[in-house]
Amino acid sequence: MPNGDRSLAVFIDFENLALGFQGRRERFEIVRVLERLVEKGKIIAKKAYADWNRFKEYTAPLHECAIELVEIPRRSQTGKNSADIRLCVDAMDLAYAKEHIDTFVIVSGDSDFSPLVSKLKENGKHVIGLGMQESTSELLRDNCDEFIYYEDLGKAPALAPNIPADLPENKRKAFALLLESMLALRRENKEILWSSMIKDTIKRKKPSFNETYHGYRSFSELLEDAQKEGLLELDTDARSGTYVVTRFGSESTASAVPMRASKPRRRRRRARPSSAAEHAAPGSSAPEPVRPRLESDGEIPF
Q: Check residue 223 and give its pLDDT.
A: 92
Distance CA 91, CA 11 (A): 8
Q: Which CATH class is domain 2-152?
A: alpha beta
- pTM for the structure as a whole: 0.70
- pLDDT, one tens digit per residue, over 69-114 is 999 876 654 445 677 889 999 999 999 999 999 999 999 988 999 9
Asked if residue 302 has pLDDT above 50, the reply is no
- pLDDT, one tens digit per residue, over 228-266 is 988 888 998 888 888 999 888 767 554 444 333 334 444
What CATH topology corresponds to 169-255?
Arc Repressor Mutant, subunit A (1.10.10)
Domain ranges in the chain are: 2-152, 169-255
Non-local CB neighbours of 92 within 8 Å, separated by 6+ positions: 116, 119, 120
Q: How far is CA 7 from the centre of its chain?
A: 18
Non-local CB neighbours of 57 within 8 Å, separated by 6+ positions: none
**Pick from 119, 131, 64: nearest CA to 94:** 119
